[in-house]
Structure 1
Amino acid sequence: MPISLLALALSAFAIGTTEFVIMGLLPNVALDLHVSIPLAGWLISGYALGVAIGAPIMAVLTAKLPRKITLLLLMVIFIVGNVMCAFSYSYGFLMLARVITALCHGAFFGIGAVVAANLVAPNRRASAVALMFTGLTLANVLGVPLGTALGQALGWRSTFWAVSLIGIVSLFALYKNLPDKKEEDATDLRKEIAALASVGLWLSLSITMLFSAAMFAMFTYIAPMLTDITGITPHGVSWTLLLIGVGLTVGNVLGGRLADWRLGTSLTLIFVFITVFSSLFSWTSVHVISAEITLFIWAMVAFAAVPALQINVVIYGKNAPNLVSTLNIAAFNVGNALGAWVGGVVIASGMGLATVPLAAGALAFLGFILCAITFRRAARKKA
């Protein structure tokens, strides 16, 4: 594999870490900035909405630029945003910094996937894209727990300084290793936008959104649930996040095989399992061992959906690969914002942290219903 793929994977690691690490640091940020946990949760929603809004806008604004230049500009925005996070001493400024950071996210993954595929022979493109997204998986396995531990030891701002440094290294690696000149297919925005007039595509994007909402309704508030309900120490939260990261990685591998086996059946069943294990955490969270087992299985079955969701969207949006790839990242992040908001509403309403997993289960059940409708509709069109 070309070293340029490793540069893309390192960039994906940095972006994934800055998105997810705030969850482990949520109690620290809330305490330091004198805001409630639900209000601090909006830092996740703000980032997600920044991705959702910024992804298609950045894709359009950079459509005429060479892809290497675009990726370098996006990484510069990422670095600036993280430095701003590290300098934040008010909730409002931190929110602004998170939104600025988010602007690069969707377009980087969308365009980066196209670049990764074009770096290798046609029969190795799927592996190349998978290698790039391995950086995002490793962000959950290593970046989040290590970033959480660093933030707890030296203050949450130190984590953003560390991510900024990784961003600078990534920028240099992209500059040195991505090819300066490579034949690129011209992007016809009118053709791609016209290809979006597909009911199946928007149903698929809605499934992606509900998956992400179900996952992040629980993931956003995992740190306060572990400390306040399970009784795990802040140091123990880092180890639990590492365990969740391992579960996400295993699920990602299994999910790819399941998607190749039978896409519709696999995705529908995965939503059933997410519903069950999200809801189950409301009861198992009171004991350390049962909580850890439930979270590992939950993470595994949740991330098993990701390859299937990617394939499902690409099938319906095959005539608009650049824009659809970016919109799917946006759909993930609309779901992130929705999930964080739902969890925050549950907590703020007085129902308590233990009710959050039930809300996550309800969102997953809606995803199951939409899956059933979507794939039954597709079957009828084939008949």
Structure 2
Amino acid sequence: MKKYAYIGCLGFIGVITTEFGVIGILPQIATHYEISIDRAGLLLSAFALIIALTGPFMTLLASGFDRKKVMLLSILLFVITGVVSSFSPPFWLLMLVRILPAFLQPVYIATALSVAVSQGDKKNENELMSIVFSGVAIAMVTTVPFATYIASIFSWEYSFYVQSAISVIALIAIYTVLPNMLVTEKKTYRSQLKILKQPTFITSTAMNFFMIAAWFSTYSYFAAYLNKAKNMDNTMVSYMMFVFGIIGVLANWVAGKMLDKNITKTTAFFLSGTILIPILLHFSGGNTVATIVVIGIWGFLYSPSFLNASTYMISSAPKSLEFANSLATSFGNLGITLGTTAGGWLIATKSVVYTPWLTLLFGVLALLMMGVRSLLERSKHN
């Protein structure tokens, strides 16, 4: 039943709007609190770090509870975050309420994927997962740029009104549409932890980590990069986020179809963007039309990254879907932390203009990890 996958997608839109909604307003937040852009970037990196450190443990702990209640509690925290943040509290409080929902973000994603897949056909598993993950791209094309646009017209606090509204809609949808979903057969912790001993799973995790770090070393400072390197104002940045996202929706649909045919080739194809985009951004220079084209290609190759990472990792541990996905979410967010921190350091010491070269560096490391996994799998079959 695709209905449950679409409900999971709606909640994912709320989750992503809250996590990434600050990207377009980081310069405004930095100005309001009179802090540097790299310190404002902590709102993203700290959120991601909490997910990275607690995700798998929280998912294991929640694995025995009613899935509907777990999803409701997770989204409720996102609602609270948006409401409190909209009052422009002191920076330490803004940071605190940003961190709270991070504890349950990977739990929501793992549970939503599990619910979607459990109600569908095995052969359509990747397609159902792509529906849930399309929430990332849809948020990028609708709520994230809309929140940025609203903030550019009024003030950055209005961005959080949008975030709260989306989470409330998701909360209502989950409550009214999903039935209670008690877990009838709880897997033991030991059976799920076994995947941590598999070399192919470890290298898949490392690939995920470097791939997300690659994308976010530049994407975390998307607004600042386009402001400084491409001389675009805040309204133009919101339009660029719209272009980025609308192509991303298509990319997720395409990736879902491609993953059903070949997981490794699909992942490698989209990962190649971490090498291609920095080069294209460099040669596009100050040409606005060329930059818009590059942003479109960037959106296409970046958007399915979370779907590709999860599918690639789960393919090496198919019997532990929820736990494997929570690790994918955790290490992906650890990658966000590394990418955002490395990008912030480069901005503080050099300039935001150089952040795409970090994308290329981490992208090469991710491709190397794919190569290592391929060699491990060949040696196992020989």
Normalization by structure 1: what TM-score? 0.93
SS in 1 for 2:361: helix
8 Å CA contact retained: 2:133, 2:306: no
Between the aligned partners of 1:195 and 1:211, the Cα distance in structure 2 is 21
Residues 271 and 365 in structure 1, CA contact (< 8 A), matched pair in contact too: no
Residue 332 of structure 1 and its aligned partner are, at CA, apart by: 1.2
When residues 293 and 170 of structure 1 are mapped into structure 2, their CA distance, relative to the original with a 3 A threshold, is same
- Aligned CA distance change for structure 1 residues 162 and 301 (closer, same or farther; 3 Å): closer
Structure 1 pair 266–170 and aligned structure 2 pair: CA distance change class (3 A):
closer
> How has the CA–CA distance of structure 1 residues 218 and 181 changed in structure 2, closer, same or farther, with 3 Å as cutoff?
closer
Partner of 1:361: 360
The sequence identity of aligned pairs, in percent, is 22
1:221 offset after TM fit, Å? 1.1
Tell me which residue corresponds to 2:327. Answer: 327
- Give the deviation of 1:4 after TM superposition: 4.4
Contact 2:65 2:182 in 1 (8 A): no
- The residue that corresponds to 1:171 in the other structure is 171
Deviation string 1:113-134 (CA, Å, 9 cap, x unpaired) is 1111223455554443332222
User: Partners of 2:59 and 2:6 in 1: how far apart?
Assistant: 23
Checking the alignment, whether the CA contact within 8 Å between 1:41 and 1:340 is kept in structure 2 is yes
User: 1:331 corresponds to which letter in structure 2?
Assistant: F
Tell me which moved more, 303-312 or 223-232: 303-312
Q: Distance in 2 between matches of 1:207 and 1:282?
A: 25
Tell me the distance in 1 between the aligned counterparts of 2:297 and 2:47: 27
Q: Equivalent residue of 1:336, what SS?
A: helix
**Alpha carbons 2:127, 2:257 under 8 Å: kept:** no
The answer to whether the 8 A contact 2:2-2:116 is kept is no
Say yes or no: does 1:245 pair with 2:253: no
Where does residue 287 of structure 2 map in the other structure?
287
**Residues 187 and 67 (structure 1), Cα distance of their counterparts in 2 relative to 1, 3 Å cut:** farther
Q: Distance in 1 between matches of 2:302 and 2:172?
A: 34
Q: Please report how far the alpha carbon of residue 304 of structure 1 lies from its aligned counterpart in structure 2 after TM superposition.
A: 4.8
C-alpha displacement of 1:305: 4.5
Look up the SS of the partner of 2:355 in the other structure: helix
1:74 correspondence with 2:74 = yes
Do 2:9 and 2:131's aligned partners in 1 also have CA atoms closer than 8 Å?
A: yes
Structure-1 separation of matches of 2:145 and 2:311: 29
Q: Which residue of 2 aligns with 1:378?
A: 377
Query: What's the CA shift for 1:285?
Result: 4.2
Report if aligned partners of 1:217, 1:360 keep a CA contact under 8 Å in 2. yes
Relative distance call for 1:46 and 1:229 in structure 2 (3 A) is: same
Q: CA deviation at 1:169?
A: 2.4
Q: Is the 8 A contact 1:196 1:320 kept in 2?
A: no
Listed as ranges, the matches of 1:95-244 within 5 Å are 95-122=95-122, 124-181=124-181, 184-244=184-244
Letter in 2 for 1:344: G
Contact 1:79–1:101 under 8 Å retained in 2 = no
CA shift in 2, pair 1:268/1:120, >3 Å: closer
Q: Which is worse superposed, 31-40 or 124-133? A: 124-133
**Cα 1:170–1:367, aligned 2, differ >3 Å: closer, same or farther?**
same
Deviations 1:226-264 (Å, cap 9, x if unpaired)? 112211121111110011112322332333344344433
Q: Structure 1 residues 306 and 78 mapped into 2: Cα distance closer, same or farther (>3 Å)? A: closer
Q: Residues 129, 272 of structure 1: CA spacing in aligned structure 2 closer, same or farther, 3 A cutoff?
A: closer
Q: How far apart are 1:82 and its partner, in Å?
A: 2.2
1:90 matches 2:87: no
Bigger CA drift: 334-343 or 158-167?
158-167
Cα distance, 1:24–1:262 mapped onto 2, change above 3 Å: same
Q: Give the 3 Å change call, closer, same or farther, for CA 285–37 of structure 1 in structure 2.
A: farther
Conserved 8 A contact 1:24-1:222: yes
SS in 2 for 1:196: helix
Cα offsets for 1:301-341 (capped at 9, x unmatched): 23355444332211212232221111111111111111111
1:234 is matched by which residue type in structure 2?
Answer: N
Q: Contact 1:41/1:344 (CA < 8 Å) preserved in 2?
A: yes
SS at 1:180 equivalent: coil
User: Equivalents in 1 of 2:242, 2:285: separation in Å?
Assistant: 17
- Aligned residue-pair number: 382
Provide the residue aligned with 1:352 in structure 2.
351
1:13 equivalent in alignment to 2:10 = no
Q: For 1:264-320, what per-residue CA distance to the aligned partner results, in whole angstroms no more than 9, with x for missing partners?
A: 344334433421222331342422112111121122123355444332211212232
TM normalised by structure 2 equals: 0.93
SS for the counterpart of 2:275 is helix
* Secondary structure class of the residue paired with 2:229: helix
Query: Separation in 1 of the partners of 2:376 and 2:126?
Result: 28
Q: 2-side partners of 1:121 and 1:53: how far apart?
A: 33
Paired with 1:158 and 1:265, the residues of 2 have a C-alpha distance of 42
Root mean square deviation, CA, Å? 2.1
Higher alpha-carbon deviation: 80-89 or 107-116: 80-89
Q: Aligned partners of 2:310, 2:119: CA distance in 1, in Å? A: 20
SS of the residue aligned with 1:56?
A: helix
Change (3 A) 1:84 1:297: same
In the aligned structure 2, how far is the partner of 1:328 from the partner of 1:46?
Answer: 18
Contact 2:86/2:161 (<8 A) preserved: yes
* 1:181 shift after superposition: 4.9
| AA matched with 2:366 | G
Contact 2:127 2:260 in 1 (8 A): no
- Give the C-alpha shift of residue 158 in structure 1: 1.7
